[in-house]
Amino acid sequence: MYNMSARRKEGSAIFSGFRALGLYSNHLAHVVRFHKKHREFYLVAAVGKSFHTYNVKKLGIVAVSNALVEDITCLAADRMLVYAAHGKTVEAFAKNKEVVHTYPGHSADVHLLLPFGDHLISVDRDNAVIVWDVESEGLPVSFEVSAIMHPSTYLNKILLGSSQGGLQLWNIKSNKLLFTFSGWGSAVTVLQQTPAVDVVGVGLASGHVVIHNIKFDETLMKFQQDWGPVTALAFRTDGHPIMAAGSPVGHIGLWDLEEKKLVGQMRDAHSTAIAGLTFLLSEPLLITNGADNAIRVWIFDTAGGEGRLLRSRLGHGAPPTKILHHGQNGQQVLSAGQDGTLQLNQQKEPSINYFFPLFTTSDWDGIVACHRGFLIATTWNYQKGSMGAYKLEPKRFDRNRALNVYATAVDVSSCGNFVVVGLSSGHIDMYNIQSGIHRGYYGEEKAHDGPVRGVALDGLNQLTLSAGGDRLLKIWKFKSFKLLHTVGLEASPASILYHRDSGMLSIALDDFTLNIVDIETKRIVRKFLGHRSQINDMVSSPIPLRHWSSNMLKAMNGMRAD
């Protein structure tokens, strides 16, 4: 007989996470690889415990790696393998997916990786450098390593930058220190090969970029950016002597190496620090990524020297607060986040990402959003991909805009013609979406004595449901605005979710419990306990709740969700 309890302990691969939807990049620099057989560039970006591989041509995802046991702390790649460090261990992935080698030799967390011919060089936080080969010989270092690179044409040699500001050139085959560069009085943050042999770009914590000839130990030129430490460097190789430098504030500076001057600024290329910069070989394309969960490709095809955005993959830059499925095929996921954006993600292939959520396929502005701290609710049009013509605002506050009143809840009718907006003042207003005309309000003066925490409309435009800070659930006549029934709640509600097919209303309370109300009988029919913190969002299955078996409900009643 099959042992169910034993199977549960092992865990099922069926329910293992595949990838993070809407997550494209974190604070780690991306890696670009060129596939000789495909004649195509591929981009690798870390997303927590795994990494995604995209083709640069369309930024379409082509592979998702198996997950590691910890978050990835460093990425690197050569023509065959992708290397990912997590904690004290380095893993090598083949085919952008499977771990084929493990390197567990470090005693501190690994933070730098450099593939080098048949070797892999890794550096940990205790400044131990290991050159991984058949014999796994180690390379001793006596200064704090902060950057690493292989100078072009320098056989068996690597260049190390330090937090103390100096550089060291090592021969990894003989395990000897060849030369020490005194540095420029500031920590080295980036080392990058320039298109010229013997010449490297050195980014410093002071904001300086030094172009240095390591053969003659001679500084050729020096630049200064005003945005803080240099976070990334890249050099064009398509005939234009341009260097790009990244900053902690998301700006990118463009420098002409022949004229030795700043020729362009790409301000706010990212909303966080620039993690990685890569100019594609012999092409006017710059790839950037950052901790704002964005990957962008810029093309330099206009006068003035600055790049314009060609394509991008954007996820939420702050935690998402609302998420739901949309559409008949179930492949669209709509989400809203603390970064103030509304986004649509395609589950099947995450190659479409909008700031404008799909809510209805009608020709008018069928999308409505309320914004934290704002009285006005805005309309949006999915087909046009833009904000709609109307901003929904009650006239009662026109004379006193100093009142701290804002929209707290919104719901759109199933026909797509009407929207109900709840306010922190306890008012609930109805509008026509097509015209933006105010159609009325619920309650003699206001619907609730406290802020409205949730509103919902039934599927036939017969009922309007509302929950407020006064610990009351109210059922209204949709068209006449007449109060039909009131249900008392044990605690103040945080949010509600109405399942139109079954007539069941889920209410999340501030005491971390869930109540299920049958709107037909107007009774609380189920209570779910076990949460130990605020419930952020809820979703109903397509199966009507009234058809669930009692055993299933009992099982759910005993579940705990943290």
Whole domain around residue 41: which residue ranges? 19-140
431 domain residue, yes or no: yes
Residues paired with 169 in a beta bridge: 159, 179
Q: What is the pTM of this model?
A: 0.70
**SS3 category, 496:** strand
- Greater confidence (304 vs 104) lies with 104
Residues paired with 201 in a beta bridge: 192, 211
Residue pair 553/523 in contact (Cβ under 8 Å)? The answer is no
pLDDT of 90 above 80: yes
For the chain, the straight-line distance linking the first and the last C-alpha, in angstroms and rounded, comes to: 33
Residues contacting 257, CB < 8 A, separation 6+? 211, 221, 241, 242, 243
Listed in sequence order, the DSSP H helices in 11-153 are: none
Residue 228, token pair as written in the block: 């803080």
Report d(CA 44, CA 35) in Å as an integer.
Answer: 13
Average pLDDT of the chain? 85
- Of all residues in the chain, the percent with pLDDT exceeding 70 is 85
Mean pLDDT value of segment 13-28:
75
Residues contacting 61, CB < 8 A, separation 6+? 52, 53, 54, 349, 350, 351
Q: Which of 140, 173, 208 is the last residue of a domain?
A: 140
281 domain residue, yes or no: no
The band of 425, judged by pLDDT with boundaries at 50, 70 and 90, is very high
Mean pLDDT value of segment 188-194:
97
242 domain residue, yes or no: no
pLDDT, tens digit (0-9, with 9 covering 90-100), for 225-243: 999 999 999 999 999 999 9
105 domain residue, yes or no: yes
The candidate with the shortest Cα–Cα distance to 368, out of 420, 427, 424, is 420
pLDDT, tens digit (0-9, with 9 covering 90-100), for 310-330: 999 988 888 887 777 665 565
Q: Which of 106, 124, 140 is the last residue of a domain?
A: 140
Residue 6 burial (10 A CB sphere; 0-12, 13-18, 19+): exposed
Beta strands in 302-406 (DSSP E): 308-314, 320-326, 332-337, 342-346, 353-354, 367-370, 377-381, 386-392
Mean pLDDT value of segment 369-392:
83
Q: Which of 198-207, 302-311, 360-369, 463-472 has the lowest mean pLDDT?
A: 360-369
pLDDT, tens digit (0-9, with 9 covering 90-100), for 45-73: 999 999 999 999 999 999 999 999 999 99
Give how many domains the chain has, as a whole number.
Answer: 2
Report d(CA 355, CA 376) in Å as an integer.
Answer: 19
The confidence score (pLDDT) of residue 175 equals: 83
pLDDT of 447 above 60: yes
10 domain residue, yes or no: no
398 domain residue, yes or no: yes
195 domain residue, yes or no: no
Report d(CA 480, CA 38) in Å as an integer.
Answer: 65
The band of 363, judged by pLDDT with boundaries at 50, 70 and 90, is low
Report d(CA 491, CA 336) in Å as an integer.
Answer: 26
CATH number for the domain spanning 86: value is 2.130.10.10
Q: Which of 84, 107, 140 is the last residue of a domain?
A: 140
Q: Which of 123-127, 182-186, 435-439, 554-558 has the lowest mean pLDDT?
A: 554-558
517 domain residue, yes or no: yes
